């Protein structure tokens, strides 16, 4: 009965989302790849130039700090992935215990996630700079590249730890008590239970969390724009912001296609790394 009505009614459930997906994602995506081979100043009036944009990217005059932004983003993405997951897991572990107020704590940790990145960026900008100024350090997020980088990392940690924590909590709660009890009977201490039983069992959660944090780290834009805007002298400009600045920040027909070409390279990079990571972590998933 269920199968039959599903066969009949599936378009009602799938089509709205599918259409939205095609309009909002698939079509712009294909159009975007095409645009990377074009020169234009508005996207509906373009001239095909072949691989010219990609060739220009190799020219330091035109690539506009692309190399620096690239390596900074790689560093940032890996650093934030490691830190967010380690802290997220630790907090989850602490909050799966049974004590009073555990739900309150979970809510508090999750809350930063409910605020949009751009708002967070501006709030932290004001907060951190205010603090730095009141300590008389004469250093602000926009005058020191190192401070800006760590500011950005801290902001992202604060925002994302809670989200990953929820996923880890769900994973930890799903570890069968039978397994833990069996481990206990076999004489495993709590450290051994954690490493040998719990960790392997929550590998799916780890896959999801690392995937999310890694791609988020690469794609980070709002927080970057709001917190440091790439200052000082583009020292804290990540890839997404670099692409945006190339595309929008410059006058002239050359730049938009160039920005688009950067975006395509960026896409390939993120997909490649995400695939490698997925393969790497799913291989370690075990069945109980």
Partner 1 sequence: MKKKQVMSLLLTGAMAATMFAGCGTKKESAKSKGPSVYYLNFKPEADKEWKKLAKEYEKETGVPVTVKTAASGEYETTLKSEMAKSEAPTLFQVNGPVGLNSWKDYCYDLKDSEIHKHLTSDSFELKEGNKVSGIAYVIESYGIIVNKTLLAKAGYKVEDINSFDSLKKIADDIQSRKDELGVKGAFTSAGMDGSSDWRFKTHLANLPIYYEYKDDNKTDAKKIKGKYLDNYKKVFDLYITDSTCDPADLSTKTGDDSEGEFLKNEAVFYQNGSWEYSNLSKKFNDDELQMIPIYFGVDDENEGLATGTENYWCVNKNSSKEDIKATLDFMNWCVTSDKGTKAMSEKMGFTIPFDTAEESPNVFVKQDAQYTESGKTPVSWNFTTMPSEEWKNTLGSALTAYAAKTGKWDEVKEAFVDNWATEKKLASAK
Instruction: Please give the residue ranges that form the binding site for partner 1 (CB under 8 A).
Output: 12, 16, 20, 41-45, 61-62, 125-126, 129, 133, 138-140, 142-144, 229, 231-234, 248-254, 256
Task: Please give the torsion angle defined by the CA atoms of residues 58, 60, 63 and 64, in that order, rounded to the nearest 10 degrees.
Answer: 170
- Nearest to 193, CA basis, from 178, 183, 201: 183
Q: State which residue, 49 or 79, has the beta carbon closest to partner 1.
A: 49
Which ranges of 111-252 does DSSP label H, i.e. alpha helix? 117-134, 145-173, 177-185, 190-192, 199-201, 203-219, 222-227, 239-248
- Nearest-angstrom CA–CA distance, 81 and 160: 10
Report the interhelical angle of 102-110 vs 145-173 (nearest 10°): 140
Q: State which residue, 152 or 229, has the beta carbon closest to partner 1.
A: 229
Q: In whole angstroms, how close is the CB of 188 to partner 1 at the nearest point?
A: 52
Q: In whole angstroms, how close is the CB of 54 to partner 1 at the nearest point?
A: 16
Q: State which residue, 103 or 134, has the beta carbon closest to partner 1.
A: 134
Q: State which residue, 172 or 235, has the beta carbon closest to partner 1.
A: 235
- Nearest to 163, CA basis, from 209, 206, 211: 209
Q: In whole angstroms, how close is the CB of 25 to partner 1 at the nearest point?
A: 16
Task: Please give the torsion angle defined by the CA atoms of residues 31, 36, 40 and 45, in that order, rounded to the nearest 10 degrees.
Answer: -20
- Nearest-angstrom CA–CA distance, 74 and 237: 12
Q: In whole angstroms, how close is the CB of 7 to partner 1 at the nearest point?
A: 14
Q: In whole angstroms, how close is the CB of 33 to partner 1 at the nearest point?
A: 17
Q: State which residue, 49 or 83, has the beta carbon closest to partner 1.
A: 49
Q: In whole angstroms, how close is the CB of 155 to partner 1 at the nearest point?
A: 16
Angstrom distances, CA of residue 22 to CA of 28, 52, 65, 90, 116: 8, 29, 33, 39, 25
Six token digits for residue 4: 């039959």
Q: State which residue, 14 or 272, has the beta carbon closest to partner 1.
A: 14
Q: In whole angstroms, how close is the CB of 252 to partner 1 at the nearest point?
A: 5
Q: State which residue, 43 or 208, has the beta carbon closest to partner 1.
A: 43
- Nearest-angstrom CA–CA distance, 92 and 103: 12
- Nearest-angstrom CA–CA distance, 260 and 33: 7
Q: In whole angstroms, how close is the CB of 129 to partner 1 at the nearest point?
A: 5
**Cβ-based neighbours of 104, under 8 Å, separated by 6 or more:** none
Q: State which residue, 69 or 214, has the beta carbon closest to partner 1.
A: 69
């Amino acid at each position: 009965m269920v199968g039959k009505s599903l066969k009949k009614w599936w378009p009602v459930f799938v089509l709205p989302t599918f259409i939205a997906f095609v309009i909002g994602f698939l079509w712009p995506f294909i159009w975007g790849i095409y645009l990377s081979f074009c020169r234009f100043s508005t996207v509906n009036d373009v001239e095909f130039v072949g691989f010219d944009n990609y060739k220009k990217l190799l020219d330091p005059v035109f690539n506009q700090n692309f190399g620096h932004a690239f390596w900074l983003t790689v560093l940032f993405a890996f650093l934030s992935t490691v830190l967010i997951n380690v802290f997220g897991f630790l907090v989850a572990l602490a909050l799966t215990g049974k004590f009073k107020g555990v739900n309150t704590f979970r809510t508090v940790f999750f809350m930063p996630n409910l605020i949009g990145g751009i708002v967070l960026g501006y709030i932290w900008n004001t907060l951190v700079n205010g603090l730095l100024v009141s300590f008389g350090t004469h250093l602000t997020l926009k005058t020191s590249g190192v401070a800006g980088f760590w500011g950005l990392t801290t902001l992202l940690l604060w925002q994302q730890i809670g989200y990953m924590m929820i996923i880890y909590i769900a994973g930890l709660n799903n570890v069968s008590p039978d397994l833990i009890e069996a481990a206990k009977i076999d004489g495993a201490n709590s450290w051994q239970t954690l490493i040998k039983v719990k960790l392997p069992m929550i590998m799916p959660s780890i896959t999801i969390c690392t995937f999310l944090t890694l791609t988020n780290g690469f794609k980070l834009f709002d927080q970057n724009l709001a917190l440091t805007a790439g200052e000082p002298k583009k020292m804290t400009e990540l890839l997404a912001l670099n692409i945006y600045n190339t595309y929008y920040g410059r006058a002239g027909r050359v730049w938009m296609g160039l920005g688009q070409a950067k975006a395509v390279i960026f896409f390939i990079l993120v997909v490649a790394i995400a695939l490698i990571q997925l393969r790497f972590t799913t291989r370690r998933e075990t069945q109980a």
